[in-house]
Chains A and B, each alone.
Chain A
């Protein structure tokens, strides 16, 4: 799949932002006044910034409101509803904390649940697609939820939770990669099933339908060199998971905490680039590109 910057920024930032909202909603840390304002401002900048970035790849962003209509079948539509609900509930809860110093616990927990559900809906946009065997697994939502919770804990200053969740996310990440590398060959979709010519013999793409490129090739047939992929995986593991853990174990300073968050964000961005760039869409089989 084409690793479009808009979707990488969207899933990375909004995942982190909603992850932070989950922790704030649960009351970790319990803050009021200006401190609460700062925490909520960061969470909203990330969550809303990410959601805004996602509209950049739309052909008609001015019609984005129509995306609220098909929640019965579409994970994208469900994400639209749940994210807006989470943002509204958490805004009310945050307003209570910031302006009134009041903690509306139930509202906070509701907001936390909706924030987590938003990340789940985002992950299911990808996890539902049978056409991309690497994504079609319960490990996809598991990984994205783990990353959001771990990153959120990191931002929320919940060192103990982050020290547990970062390694959990790292393990899920490795499992996701290992499974993903075998996913296409195990999916049962290959050139023989795509063309139904396998009964005659070995199928090879002889000539594409056109001499140039097209939308399908640009969008779905992105090939990453294996050496680059391994390098990026190592970078993602070190920056995204290992280094933040090391920095958290060091004596606490705000600079260390900031560096841990930046490192985590960079690592997750690398992992998310691979998430798209390595994903093999089965349509590539028709072009002999798998």
Chain B
């Protein structure tokens, strides 16, 4: 049913730390691996070894350059997958009921046997979270690894989404964002987690932790006036003016 539930018992989702993500794409690879071999149609590739390979991915890592008004530019790696929105516009546009949001945990899923592959849900998603698989003709999206998180055949530490389990930087966190006492909610609270494109009114469950301010080592002015550094005299430049051969060369070249 494409009517969104009034409320969900849980709001399972991800918290992605843009401060710690190193842009290694391990989450992309593990996601593709797990979701190709398990629930639903495999994530196909077209022309994988040819000159123009493309394929279906549920998670992709962008990289952005952010240039502050002063100081050096920052490079920020930006993983993006389905945000499991509370007001998911992809669900309500679906004509067949293939797309739905689960009442028990808030996960947005696609019932692939009902999907006609019209693509309208992907049109309605502002985040590019849904991709129509070119081989299967059905819509694919992040399932929050619904076949891992409740899977009692897996060791307990593996019952998290594949991307979270694999992230070597600890930049991805999984939990119930509807519970204010959960670890992920606490993390969002402490770090000022944000919604992507809040003006779209989708109320994403996934949150992004913005990069923390960089240190100021590149800016001498940032050091308070009158700060006495006992080592400063020893660190003064030893040769203000070149002497000897270099000094002669400097003068000679200057005269040319």
The answer to whether A131 and B89 have CB atoms under 8 Å apart is yes
Task: Tell yes or no: B174 within 8 A of A by CB.
Answer: no
Q: What 1/0 flags go to A17-56 for Cβ under 8 Å of B?
A: 0000000000000000000000000000000000000000
Report B-chain residues with C-beta under 8 Å of the C-beta of A212: 52-54
Are B115 and A283 interface neighbours, CB within 8 A? Answer: no
Q: Which residue in A187, A189, A209, A213 is a CB contact (below 8 Å) of B60?
A: A209
A69 within 8 A of B: yes
Q: How many contacts between A and B, using CB within 8 angstroms?
A: 196
Q: Which of A59, A129, A193 lies at the interface centre, i.e. has the most chain B CB atoms within 10 A of its CB?
A: A59
- Binary flags per residue of B115-138, CB closer than 8 Å to A gives 1, else 0: 111111011111110011110111
Q: Is the CB of B200 within 8 A of A130?
A: yes
A279 to chain B, nearest CB (A): 10
Tell me, yes or no, whether B194 is within 8 Å of chain A by CB.
yes
Interface size class of B (residues with CB under 8 A): 35 or more
Is there contact, CB below 8 Å, between B115 and A129?
no
CA distance A73 to B73 in the complex (A): 45
Q: Is B218 an interface residue (CB 8 A)?
A: no
- Closest residue of chain B to A284 (Cβ to Cβ) is B128
Q: Select from chain A the residue with minimum beta-carbon distance to B90.
A: A131
| Residue in A67, A194, A204, A215 whose CB lies within 8 Å of B134 | A215
Contact B137 A60 (CB under 8 A): yes
Tell me, in angstroms, the Cα distance from A96 to B52 when the chains sit together: 57
Q: Which residues of A contact B95 (CB under 8 A)?
A: 66-70, 74, 76-77, 80
Contact with A along B13-44 (1 / 0, CB 8 A): 00000100000010010000000000000000
Q: Is B1 an interface residue (CB 8 A)?
A: yes
Is A73 within 8 A of B117, CB to CB? no
B8 to chain A, nearest CB (A): 17
Q: Does B151 contact A (CB under 8 A)?
A: no
Given contacts A59-B137, A67-B96, A131-B126, contact A206 B64 (CB under 8 A): yes
In the assembled complex, the Cα of A219 lies from the Cα of B194 at a distance in Å of 28
Stretch at the interface among B74-82, B163-171, B181-189, B234-242: B74-82
Given known contacts A66-B114, A206-B63, A212-B52, A283 and B125 CB-to-CB distance under 8 angstroms? yes
Binds B, one of A148-156, A166-174, A195-203, A262-270: A195-203
Is A281 in the interface zone, CB < 8 Å from B?
yes
A253 at the interface (CB under 8 A from B): no
Would you list which residues of chain B between 194 and 252 have a CB under 8 Å from chain A?
Answer: 194-201, 208, 210-211
A178 within 8 A of B: no
Given known contacts A129-B124, A200-B68, A204-B67, A214 and B55 CB-to-CB distance under 8 angstroms? yes
Q: Which residues of A are at the interface with B, using a C-beta cutoff of 8 A?
A: 1, 57-61, 63-64, 66-70, 72-77, 80, 125, 128-132, 187-189, 191, 193-197, 199-210, 212-216, 219-220, 281-283, 286-287
A-B contact pairs, 18 of them (CB 8 A): A59-B118, A59-B119, A60-B116, A60-B117, A63-B115, A66-B96, A69-B97, A73-B94, A74-B93, A131-B89, A195-B64, A200-B68, A204-B64, A206-B63, A214-B60, A214-B131, A219-B123, A283-B128
Which of B's residues lie within 8 Å of A, judged by CB?
1-3, 18, 25, 28, 52-57, 60-69, 73-76, 78, 80, 89, 91-98, 114-120, 122-128, 131-134, 136-139, 194-201, 208, 210-211
